[in-house]
Amino acid sequence: MWTWKKVAQATSGRVADLAHGPSCAQSRLRLFGASEKDVRVTLFRDHHAWCPYCQKIWLWLEEKRVPYRVKKVTMFCYGEKEAWYTRVVPSGMLPAVELDGRIVTESDVILERLEATFGPLVREMNDRDVVACRRLERRLFGAWCEWLCRPQRSAAAEQRSKAQFEAVADAVEDLLARRPGAFFLGDEFTTADVVFVPYVERMSASLFYYKGFRLRDPAARPRLCAWFDTLETREAYVGTQSDFHTHCHDLPPQMGGCYESGDAAQAAARDLVDARAGGVPAETTVPVPDDAKLVAAARVAQFRSQIAAVNGELADAAAVDGALLAAVANLLDGGTAAAPPPGTAAALRYVKDRVNVPRDMPIHSARALCAALEATAALDSAAVPRSKIRLKDRRDQDPRPFQSAGVRVTA
């Protein structure tokens, strides 16, 4: 019989070194073996780890192993900007860094200032080859926006936008094929790769969900697939990597809307992502870690009171706590059918729809937890219709359930 005390005992080894260990979304201080007095950089990034430009700076700092602090701020499209932040950065822009006491904004300018202080990540932002990559990335971004974010008035218009995106994606494939090695400028991971990572990751997720299109397709784009695969061998990147479900539900407010193609392939892709049961083609090639379930259980156990509190409108907080325990028991027992308190299915599915990667836990931990939440909800003898993420109020993705000062948990 599982209790929260037994869960805590079973997951006690999930504590990570957030300052010196692998890259982790929960870290507030990164030292890489240095001491706190060596920190010259403070990175201001969003609470959820949804901001692509924040990811670019975050990844650069991780790859360069520059000691830094993290302060988290709300993005405009998800809530009100904190007053303390607008006093520091009047524009409210994200990301920003404080470098040796001076505030710098705009991600490209930030990278240039960091390069000037700590040296480039193999190649400088203004290196000729890097500039060519930056221009191509902007072309790809534009073609993606044209297809994803504009309602297509006809099937022919949909196909034209798709063809325009594929043409630029082919140019990316050709660029990767010009050099030996998996990365944009050869064998080494450079600033050019950092530039491509955030939005190409989001393109892969969103085009599958909203268009039924596989960007990470080995038959059509083998070199881009090799780039993704090699990227996922890098500890710094994996700590910043999200999953398809998170991106597909965080992007609409940022992009001003994302439009489905509406065909059968797209509907099947959307339902597969929303099921959160795994099996999404080319979402990740990383093998499932042995401790994936323990990491998920540790996160739920640590924040169970906060999770139950935000489900108050769906069920009694004590009942939600019992439902969460049943889900964690099913997770750790590998499918044992522990039934939740009656009437808590909607609360469990509410949590399932709001587990965020990497904010809350890594991809495989999230998959395992979401499968357990759904399996447990299905055992509710008094189930009510599920509560999905509200499409008109994307502030619904509240970061508070997984926030705590000084948290030290593996992720």
User: What gap in Å lies between CA 202 and CA 252, rounded to an integer?
Assistant: 12
pLDDT in tens, 400-411: 555 543 333 332
Q: Indicate the CATH number of 40-118 among 3.30.420.40, 3.40.50.720, 3.40.30.10, 3.40.50.2000.
A: 3.40.30.10
Of residues 87, 86, 118, 84, the one with CA closest to residue 100 = 118
The yes-or-no verdict on residue 336 having pLDDT over 80 is no
User: What gap in Å lies between CA 180 and CA 187, rounded to an integer?
Assistant: 7
Q: What pTM, to 2 d.p., does this model score? A: 0.93
Dig out the tokens for 410 from the structure.
Answer: 């593996």
The residue type of 264 is A
Strand 68-73's sheet: what is its strand order?
29-30, 68-73, 41-46, 96-99, 102-105
pLDDT in tens, 291-325: 999 999 999 998 898 888 887 667 788 999 999 99
The yes-or-no verdict on residue 388 having pLDDT over 80 is no
Percent of the chain with pLDDT over 70: 91
Check residue 127 and give its pLDDT.
98
pLDDT in tens, 182-200: 999 999 999 999 999 999 9
Check residue 334 and give its pLDDT.
83
The yes-or-no verdict on residue 160 having pLDDT over 50 is yes
Percent of the chain with pLDDT over 90: 81
Check residue 282 and give its pLDDT.
86
SS3 category, 404 = coil
Check residue 408 and give its pLDDT.
37
Of residues 402, 352, 401, the one with CA closest to residue 376 = 352
Looking at every residue in the chain, the average pLDDT score rounds to: 91
Query: Do the domains spanning 40-118 and 128-275 agree at the CATH topology level?
Result: no
73: which DSSP letter? E
Q: Could you state, in order of their start, the residue ranges of all structural domains in the chain?
A: 40-118, 128-275, 291-402
Check residue 384 and give its pLDDT.
64
Q: Are strands 41-46 and 96-99 parallel, antiparallel or unpaired?
A: antiparallel
Task: Give helix then strand counts, H and E, for the chain.
Answer: 16, 5
Q: Write the DSSP string, 22-60.
A: S--TT-SEE-TTS-GGG--EEEEEETTS--HHHHHHHHH
The yes-or-no verdict on residue 70 having pLDDT over 70 is yes
Give the CA distances from residue 341 to residues 191, 297, 326, in Å, rounded to whole numbers and listed in that order: 51, 19, 9
Predicted confidence band at 16 (pLDDT cuts at 50, 70, 90)? Answer: confident
Q: Write the DSSP string, 333-401.
A: HTS--PPPPTT-HHHHHHHHTT--TTTTS-HHHHHHHHHHHHHHHTT-TT-----PPPSS-GGGS-SGG
- Rounded to an integer, the average pLDDT of 328-336 is 89
The answer as to CATH 1.20.1050.10 being correct for domain 128-275 is yes
